[in-house]
Structure formats: C-alpha cells, structure tokens
Structure 1
Amino acid sequence: MPAKSRPDATDALFHRIVFALFAAGFATFAQLYSVQSVLPEISADFGVDPSQAALTISMATTGIAIGVLPWAFAADRWGRVRVMKVSAVSAAVIGLVTPFLHSLPLILGSRLIEGLALAAIPAIAVTYIADELPARRVTAAAGAFVSGNSIGGLLGRLIAGLVSEHFGWQLGLMTVAVLCVVACSIFVIAVPAPHGYLPSRLRTEDVTAAAAAQTRQERTVASPVPSLSAWQRFTMALTTPALWGTYAQPFLLMGSFLSLFSFLGYHLQAAPYGLSTAVTSMVFTVYLVGTFTARWSGSVAGRFGHRRLLYTGIGMMIGGAALTLTAPLAVIVLGVALFTAGYFVTSPVTSAMTSLIAGPCRSQATAIYQLVFYVGNSVFGWMLGRVFEEFDWAGVALGIITMCLVAALIAATLLPKRPGAAASRSPASS
C-alpha cells in the first residue's frame, strides 16, 4: 500500500499540514490586522479621520486582492509550497520595516507592498490542503487554518493595543512583526513537501498521464485536469454560477467583519464608554470563540450540510451585530462574541465549498475567492468608515446587518446543497 494512502501516514501528513498552515495563518493575520487596534492612535498622531486611518488596513487588503491571482498562477508553475515560503518570508521582512516609517503615505505604501507579499498564503493554502489530503479531511484542515487566522488576528490586535498603551503604536506593531517572523520560520521549517500536485513547468504528457492515473487510484480528491490550460481553468472558475455564490460570501461577510472590528474601537473609546486603548484591545479576546467555532464548523460540515451551516453562521452574525446597537457594554461585548463566532462558522465552510465545487479549476477559483475576500475588506473598510463619520455606530451596525442578509439571499439562490455534486456536474467532468 502506498505510504500516503495508509491511515497512519495520512494522519501524520494531516497533522503536519495543520501545524504548518496554522503558523502561516497566524503570521498572515497577525501582521495584517494588528494595526486595527491602534487606529484611534494613528488618527490622533497624523490628524486624520477614521476612514483615512482605516486605509492602513484597506491598502494591505488591496495588495492581497491584487496579488492573489498572480501568486496562484505562479504556484501552478513553480509549486504551492515554494511560492508560499517566498510569500511568508517577504511579508515578514516588510512587516519589520513598516513601524519605522514616520509619514502616513509611506506607511500606506508599505502596507500595500506587504499585502502583495502576503497574498500567496490565503490564495494557495486551501488549494494546497485539497491537493494533499483526502476529501473527507479537507474541511477540517481548512478549519484549522482558519483557527490560525483567528488566533493571529486576536494576538496581533491584542498585543499591538497593549504595547501601544505604554510605548506607542509603532512599538506595538514592531512587537507583532517580531512574533510573525517566529511564526513564519515555523511554517517554512514544518510545511511538508507537496506530493499531490506537479508544477506545470515540470509536467510532461507522460508524467502527467502517470500522475493522473495514480491519483485516481489513490485519492478521492479531484486533481487538476492536465488537458486544460491555466486560462481554460481560469475561465471555468469565472463562469460556474455556483462558484459566484461562494465568491459573494467573503466579499460581504468578511467586509462586514472587518468593519465591525475597525470602528468598534472608536465607538468604545468615545462617550459614554471612554475606554482606553488597552481595555478596548481586550474586547478582541472574543476572537477566541472564533478559534473554536472554526474547528467545530470544519468537523461537522459533512454531517450538518455546508449550506445549512452557512445559514447558521450568518444568522449568528446578524444577531450579534443587532446586540451591538444596545447601550450596556456587557451586551455589546456579548454581541461581538456572537458575531465573531458566526463569522468563523461561515469562513471554513465557504472556503471548502469553493474547493469542492471548483474541481479542476480549484487553484484559480480559490484565488478568485481570496481576491473578492480582500476586495470586500478594502471597499467596505473604507465605505463603512464614511458611514461611521456620518451616522456613528448605528449606521455601521445596520450596514453590517444588511450585508449579511444579502449574503444569505445569494447563498439561497446560487449555492448547491451538496457542493460535491456540483463539482461532478462541472464542464470538465461532463
């Protein structure tokens, strides 16, 4: 029996992939969102409005949106793991430089470049998981990757906020950058070499045919179809209606999630609450519930149903956002926790559905998914900032609820009940 088809070998590979991608997700989201907890300090330091300060996040997410497709094509040619390593190391170096810049335009430019460097990890990670693991373990591994994202996002925000309270926001961001270097090093050392996908530059017709035959015998996960060019796979990813249903989810749901955490700090530091930066940062500890719900979501998706689980998460987000419209601080924190738990129910489900529906265009579909994910961040992070300036927190919360309702409507219209069945009806399989 081939090693990678043995249960013990598969378990060992699963745990190595989960560990490595947990570290990669931690590094990516810690440096991406650490600035979120110090936005009020950046506003005060540079004398800018909340929507302008929020550009420090929007520029990074714009960089990721620009970079995901080029990185995906590079991964097809040069290999998933090699490209993710280059991405992680480059972003870690840029993250060390950014806190030393002393003008907002320079910081925004650095954040854009940092986003470009970071883009490979979210663009490729789930595709790499689907290439290397059996279908039954893809959603669970994706949930572990999202857990790394949530813990990285939590600690990045928390550490930056706590350190900035006493030493300034620059040192807060530097502390997070150093932690990201450590996490990046762990990823580079721990990530297993790829076995489930052959880069196109090494692929010949004979090798491709042999690899495809072996894959059909050993794996239940569909591998990229060699007879399709990269452009054909990209076209398929753009023209499959069910995939548009998955693309809409991160655009709207992550856009709402980013906006809640970007402008909640302004709301809680203003009257009547008047919280300090350090105390406001502690609110981000509700991110921990996302770690658990992401893992739970990944483990029960097969039994509960992907689309039903998505509706559950969206309903939790709507309820949580509604609770933040109330006055008591404890109820607001409860609402943020419920909203966070709901978002991290949806995230591994929609990313796994994208891979399962896409079939032979998995790499390109995942890249498009990540592109709209970060376009949503950039667009709504700025747009709801303007809403906050005009209508305060109530406008932001109502905007978030509306976005979640639209996401649910699109899911009901376009997403199949069984994503695997949709994949079997894709053009490549007919």
Structure 2
Amino acid sequence: MTRRGLGVAAAGFCTFLNLYSTQALLPTLADTFGAGLPRTGLTVTAPLVAVALVAPFVGGLSDALGRWRLIVWASLFLAVPTLLAAGASGLDALILCRFLQGLLLPFIFAVTVAYIADECPGTEAVRMTATYAVGTILGGFAGRFVAGWATELSGWRTAFVVLAGLTLACGAVVAWALPRERAFRPVRGWRGQLAGFADQFGNPQVMATCGVGFAVLFSMVGTFTYAGFYLAAAPFGLGPAQLGMVFVTYLAGAVAAPVATRGVLRYGRQRTVL
C-alpha cells in the first residue's frame, strides 16, 4: 500500500469507526438510562442527521479552502466530541455528543472522495476508492466491535474513551500519510459555489449514485439497529461483546471491495453496480 493509500484508508477508518459505534451498545444504553428503544436509537440517528445537514455544504467549503486541511483537522478534532460522550451526564447529552460527531464526519469522508478525484487519475482513482472503501468497512466493524467489548469489560463510558484514543491515532496517521493536494484549484466566490451545487442536482449520474447509497444504507442501518435489540432480548440474551461480534459479517465488504474494483475496471461502473 502506498503512503497515500494509507492516508485515504485511515480517513475512511476514522469516519466509520465513530458513525455507527453505538449500535452494539443500544440495549445497554436503554437499560442504563431507562429509556425506550426509539429514544435510545437516537444515538445512531443523531450523527446521521448531522451528516445529512452538513454534507451538502462541505463540497463548497473544500472547493474554497482545500481538501487536505479539512480532512486532517476534522480527523483530529473528531476525538473531542467522542471523548465528551464518555462523560455525558444523561442520554440527551450523549445524543448531543453524537450529533457533534456527525457534524465533523462529512469533512472527512466527503472531502476524501473529492481528494481522490482530484489527485488520482484514471484507474488509480478506482483502486484508491477501493482502498478507501476497505478503510470504511474495517472502521465500521471496529467501531461496533471495540465498543461492544469495551462496554462488556469496563462499561460504555470506557468504550467512548477507547474510541476517542483510536480516533486521535487515526487522525495522526492521516496527517502524516496523506500528501497535500497538488491538482487542487480553489473556486472563489459564492456564485461559483452555487452553480456547482446546482449542477450536481441536475446530473442524473450523481442522483443515481445517491439513490444507490440511500438504498444500501437504509437497509443496512435499519437491519443492524433492529438486530441489536432483537438479539439482546430473550431467548438470545446477547451482551454488548456478543453483539459486537455480530458485525464480523461487515467484514465481507472488505473482500467484496477489491472484487468490485476488478469488475469496474473490466465491465464499467454501471454494469458492476447492476
């Protein structure tokens, strides 16, 4: 793996380490705070809502300010709300910390995609995207797995402390390994930003890609969130560590990503997705 590949993979890992980390903890959090399942589920929903609110505007900021600095600083600062979550006084405070995490995440994953498009020509971009995808998959698994085991051994607050440490370490790797952009050309002025924003909504390929992403995440997030509550109840009675183990299935994507890359290079994007 190249140094750039390591930086891209670390950025993906850092993002998804935190995004769904509470899925293995939902039954524990419900018992701890005496909250219902829908309210506890907001610890998963809150960062997703924050991502949806911020993501449309991140592209414009990165066009003006540059890719590298946003990716690196967001990766490092993400450790702050993660650590604050460990000291949350109640469920509402925890949900707020999760929302703050979500506000930072698009500055990592969305801008990393733009960075790849700018800096990696042709087939290198396809391979680098696969490397990024593997990083997100490993991070998505690690977030649930580590949080589950840390909660089992020492409580949910410890889980967030461990995640904050891992996040800070990932941010350091991103800062060291990811080369500064060379092909980036800033776009100045709000008119150019708005024009680019409008162009995306008029691009059928972009809209189709968003549709695919919506369908995949809608089914995946809903299934895993439901499964956590279902498997924690009788007759299964799984604890947080065992629930974290359920997400081993997530690692299948790490195998599928390189296979999909070969499919894209051989058959094209549309045929591979279909």
Please give the TM-score of this superposition, normalised by the length of structure 2.
Answer: 0.94
What CA distance in whole angstroms lies between the structure 2 residues aligned with 1:157 and 1:43?
17
1:60 Cα shift? Answer: 0.7
What CA distance in whole angstroms lies between the structure 1 residues aligned with 2:272 and 2:150?
38
One of 80, 103, 124 as aligned partner of 1:137: 124
Q: Does 1:59 align with 2:22?
A: no
Structure 1, unaligned runs of 5 or more: 1-13, 204-227, 312-430
What CA distance in whole angstroms lies between the structure 2 residues aligned with 1:86 and 1:111?
18
One of 48, 62, 65 as aligned partner of 1:78: 65
The answer to whether the 8 Å contact 1:129/1:142 transfers is: yes
What CA distance in whole angstroms lies between the structure 2 residues aligned with 1:107 and 1:280?
20
Q: What letter corresponds to residue 135 of structure 1 in structure 2? A: G
Structure 2, unaligned runs of 5 or more: none
Which digits, 9 at most, give the CA deviation of each residue in 1:151-203, with x for residues without a partner?
111111111101111211111122122111101110011110101112235x9
Q: What letter corresponds to residue 210 of structure 2 in structure 1? A: Y
Q: Which residue of 2 aligns with 1:402?
A: none
One of 111, 130, 143 as aligned partner of 1:156: 143
Task: Return the structure number with greater relative CO, CA threshold 8 A, min gap 6.
Answer: 2
Q: Which residue of 2 aligns with 1:299?
A: 262
1:295 Cα shift? Answer: 2.3
Q: Which residue of 2 aligns with 1:257?
A: 220
1:243 Cα shift? Answer: 2.3
Which digits, 9 at most, give the CA deviation of each residue in 1:376-421, with x for residues without a partner?
xxxxxxxxxxxxxxxxxxxxxxxxxxxxxxxxxxxxxxxxxxxxxx
What CA distance in whole angstroms lies between the structure 1 residues aligned with 2:22 and 2:232?
16
Identity %: 29
Pairing 1:371-390 to 2, within 5 Å after superposition: none
Q: Which residue of 1 aligns with 2:175?
A: 188
One of 112, 120, 124 as aligned partner of 2:111: 124
What CA distance in whole angstroms lies between the structure 1 residues aligned with 2:50 and 2:258?
28
Q: What letter corresponds to residue 141 of structure 2 in structure 1? A: L
1:44 Cα shift? Answer: 0.9
RMSD: 1.7
Which structure has the bigger radius of gyration?
A: 1
What CA distance in whole angstroms lies between the structure 2 residues aligned with 1:112 and 1:266?
22
Q: Which residue of 2 aligns with 1:16?
A: 3
Give the secondary structure class of the aligned counterpart of 1:199.
coil
Pairing 1:33-112 to 2, within 5 Å after superposition: 33-112=20-99
Q: What letter corresponds to residue 17 of structure 2 in structure 1? A: A
The answer to whether the 8 Å contact 2:11/2:109 transfers is: no
The answer to whether the 8 Å contact 2:76/2:167 transfers is: no
The answer to whether the 8 Å contact 1:73/1:230 transfers is: yes
Q: Which residue of 1 aligns with 2:204?
A: 241
The answer to whether the 8 Å contact 2:75/2:170 transfers is: no
Give the secondary structure class of the aligned counterpart of 1:124.
helix
What CA distance in whole angstroms lies between the structure 2 residues aligned with 1:46 and 1:191?
41
1:49 Cα shift? Answer: 2.0
The answer to whether the 8 Å contact 1:20/1:186 transfers is: yes
Q: What letter corresponds to residue 89 of structure 1 in structure 2? A: L
One of 232, 245, 256 as aligned partner of 1:282: 245
Give the secondary structure class of the aligned counterpart of 1:229.
helix
What CA distance in whole angstroms lies between the structure 2 residues aligned with 1:92 and 1:168?
19
